[in-house]
């Protein structure tokens, strides 16, 4: 295959058990900004170069999701500009995670490929990697229009 016909994987949508709790987590911890809230069960965020959606699991399906025993999704990630930024984020979010329903999964670590990251989870147990990655952390993103 030649060059990709897409512009990157920049949209993630998660089903959550408590939309208000998850919304507060992503707004307060990761600074996500609401770009669209079509109804009380859906909210769309952006950090400027992506689109991130939270969808409330309907009450009729909630019993199937509690307790969460496993998931196919391993983790999602946020890209940081440097290893120092990873450490700075860790110091800032680690004490706030419990009050927002999350927790640290793995502290900062240097990986074999030269990347550097730590892992934490949201209130529904979705794992998030805060990552400095050599190939993409230095990319510049511009908004058109």
Mean pLDDT for all residues in the chain: 90
Predicted confidence at residue 70, as pLDDT, reads 66
Domain locations in the chain as residue ranges? 11-58+74-132
The CA distance from 107 to 11, in Å, is: 26
Q: What is the mean pLDDT of residues 49-70?
A: 85
Predicted confidence at residue 68, as pLDDT, reads 62
Tell me the CATH number of domain 11-58+74-132, given options 2.40.50.180, 3.60.10.10, 3.40.30.10, 3.10.180.10. 3.10.180.10
Helix spans in the chain (H):
19-30, 62-65, 83-93
What's this model's pTM, rounded to 2 decimal places? 0.86
Q: What is the pLDDT of residues 37-47, one digit of tens each?
A: 999 999 999 99
């Amino acid at each position: 295959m030649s060059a990709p016909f897409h512009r990157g994987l920049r949209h993630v949508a998660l089903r959550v058990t408590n939309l208000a709790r998850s919304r507060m987590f992503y707004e307060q911890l990761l600074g996500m900004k609401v770009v669209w809230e079509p109804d009380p069960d859906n909210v769309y965020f952006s950090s400027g170069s992506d689109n991130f959606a939270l969808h409330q699991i309907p009450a009729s399906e909630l019993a199937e999701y509690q307790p969460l025993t496993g998931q196919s999704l391993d983790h999602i990630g946020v890209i940081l500009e440097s290893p120092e930024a990873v450490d700075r984020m860790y110091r800032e979010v680690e004490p706030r995670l419990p009050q927002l329903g999350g927790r640290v999964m793995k502290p900062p670590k240097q990986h074999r490929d030269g990347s550097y990251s730590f892992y934490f989870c949201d209130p529904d147990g979705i794992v998030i990697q805060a990552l400095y990655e050599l190939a993409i952390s230095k990319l510049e993103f511009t908004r058109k229009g």
